[in-house]
């Protein structure tokens, strides 16, 4: 710590570090970026130059060996996470790790032991659970479950007790992705692990957060474990999440839509910028500000239609150039900054990490079970001894 500010090192200075990690660190007044580290030294130097990093290095052990460093952000390929986390924990450095925590369950167990032995705070950046829109969605669903309210014109059958299925909550997660943009490393089983491990881990974690404290008990899968597929996750209280991942779409249209049905009501979240609520008294629409918005003057306003208008404006501005040059000019709030803030708060206060090592491990467990369910085209049980392991 220096002058009351936490000192950090960025390990991995690729596109995600430039788009999220380093802008979010720089936006805070309580963090000093001392190191930008990447085996491609030129990438580390560019990150340090663009975001005010004090040193650019190629070896992450140089970062971990500095006694002033309080925490590191790990944004490397998935297969490197374990070794960096083990080394950081052994030196008492807190770790903010990009998802997934690891690709193999046994690696997660080893990391958990190291984190707990080192007494450090560990957070996996599965940010959706921290997005303002999905936080609001969860609160609104919980309120409807606790005290159901319905619009006065809605017909409700009063002559019978509700059936058991009518008392359950269903969570639909619809993802349309553009897999043609992926680098092949994402699909390489040794380095990226495929899209279930590399991407769908986000939504498996989100479902667990949404339905906690119930735990998942069964996963049914269909489609391709490599690209497009679907999953149904049944929870111990009878609620269920369905994830539909379509890898043949386009980034011209927003990637994610969320829908919840519960207690004769419908709750929608449209790509983190607008929530809509149906079947209840009260506010039917909520909007959420963007994280990055260079088009606010040209296209004012919030919500889904305003975001689409801003998207079209960005497309026109970059039609003759490199889309990546203007990528950071427009971005929805998926919870990255809130996750970082929660992690820093946990370091400062000794409180709970917003997505700790156990949550990270569980998402990896479910991802691996999901791959098996997809390949075998059947329901796969989630063993309680693996979901809630006991460590000596």
pLDDT the model gives residue 220: 98
What's the whole-number average pLDDT of the chain?
Answer: 94
Query: Which of 250, 283, 47 lies closest to 144 in space, CA to CA?
Result: 283
pLDDT the model gives residue 374: 97
Q: Are 195 and 164 in contact (CB under 8 A)?
A: no
pLDDT the model gives residue 314: 86
Average pLDDT for residues 319-346, to the nearest whole number? 82
pLDDT the model gives residue 156: 67
With 0-12 / 13-18 / 19 or more C-beta atoms within 10 angstroms meaning exposed / middle / buried, residue 140 is: buried
Residue 326 banded pLDDT, cuts 50, 70, 90: low
User: Which DSSP symbol is given to 197?
Assistant: I
Cα(321)–Cα(361) distance, integer angstroms: 41
User: Which DSSP symbol is given to 79?
Assistant: G
Cα(122)–Cα(35) distance, integer angstroms: 19
Residue 328 reports pLDDT greater than 70? no
Element (H, E) at 44: helix 41-51
pLDDT the model gives residue 57: 98
Cα(366)–Cα(266) distance, integer angstroms: 27
Residue 322 banded pLDDT, cuts 50, 70, 90: low
pLDDT the model gives residue 360: 98
Residue 183 banded pLDDT, cuts 50, 70, 90: confident
Q: Could you tell me what percent of the chain has a pLDDT over 90?
A: 83
Q: CB-side exposure of 63: number of CA atoms within 13 Å?
A: 35
Residue 185 banded pLDDT, cuts 50, 70, 90: confident
Q: What is the pLDDT of residues 53-109, one digit of tens each?
A: 999 999 999 999 999 999 999 999 999 999 999 999 999 999 999 999 999 999 999
Residue 327 banded pLDDT, cuts 50, 70, 90: low
pLDDT the model gives residue 79: 93
Instruction: Indicate the pTM of the whole model.
Output: 0.95
Average pLDDT for residues 212-235, to the nearest whole number? 96
pLDDT the model gives residue 9: 98
pLDDT the model gives residue 161: 86
Average pLDDT for residues 154-166, to the nearest whole number? 80
Cα(98)–Cα(75) distance, integer angstroms: 5
Structure tokens at 328: 């950071």
Residue 292 banded pLDDT, cuts 50, 70, 90: very high
Average pLDDT for residues 327-334, to the nearest whole number? 84
Hey, what domains does the chain have and what are their CATH numbers?
A: 6-127 (3.40.50.720), 129-291+332-350+365-379 (3.30.360.10)
Cα(37)–Cα(191) distance, integer angstroms: 19
Q: What is the pLDDT of residues 31-61, one digit of tens each?
A: 999 999 999 999 999 999 999 999 999 999 9
Residue 153 reports pLDDT greater than 90? no
Cross-strand bridge partners of residue 274: 270, 287
């Amino acid at each position: 710590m220096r002058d009351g500010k936490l000192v950090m090192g960025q390990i991995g200075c690729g596109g995600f570090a430039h788009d999220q990690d380093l802008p979010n660190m720089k936006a805070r007044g309580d963090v000093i970026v001392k190191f930008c580290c990447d085996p491609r030294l030129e990438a580390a130097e560019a990150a340090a130059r663009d975001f005010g990093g004090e040193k650019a290095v190629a070896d992450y052990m140089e970062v971990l060996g500095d006694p002033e460093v309080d925490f590191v952000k790990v944004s490397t390929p998935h297969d490197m996470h374990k070794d960096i986390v083990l080394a950081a924990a052994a030196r008492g450095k807190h770790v903010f790790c990009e998802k997934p925590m690891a690709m193999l369950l046994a690696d997660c167990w080893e990391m958990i032991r190291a984190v707990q032995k080192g007494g450090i705070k560990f957070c996996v950046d599965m940010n959706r659970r921290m997005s303002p829109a999905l936080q609001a969605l969860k609160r609104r669903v919980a309120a409807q479950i606790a005290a159901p309210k319905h619009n006065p014109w809605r017909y409700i059958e009063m002559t019978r007790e509700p059936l058991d299925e009518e008392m359950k909550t269903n969570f639909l997660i619809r993802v349309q992705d553009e897999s043609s943009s992926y680098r092949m490393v994402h699909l390489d089983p040794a380095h990226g692990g495929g899209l279930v491990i590399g991407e769908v881990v986000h939504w498996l974690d989100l479902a667990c957060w949404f339905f906690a404290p119930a735990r998942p008990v069964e996963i049914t899968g269909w489609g391709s474990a490599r690209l497009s597929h679907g999953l149904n996750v049944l929870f111990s209280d009878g609620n269920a999440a369905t994830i539909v991942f379509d890898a043949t779409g386009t980034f011209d249209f927003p990637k994610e839509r969320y829908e919840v049905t519960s207690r004769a009501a419908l709750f929608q979240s449209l790509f983190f910028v607008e929530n809509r609520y149906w079947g209840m008294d009260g506010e039917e629409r909520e909007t959420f500000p963007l994280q990055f918005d260079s088009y606010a003057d040209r296209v004012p306003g919030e919500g889904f239609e305003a975001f689409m208008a801003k998207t079209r404006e960005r497309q026109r501005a970059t039609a003759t150039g490199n889309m990546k040059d203007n990528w950071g000019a427009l971005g929805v709030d998926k919870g990255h900054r809130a996750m970082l803030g929660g992690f820093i708060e946990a370091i400062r206060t000794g409180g709970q990490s917003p997505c700790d090592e156990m949550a990270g491990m569980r998402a990896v467990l479910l991802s691996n079970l999901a791959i098996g369910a997809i390949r075998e085209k059947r329901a796969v049980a989630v063993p309680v001894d693996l979901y809630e392991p006991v460590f000596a």
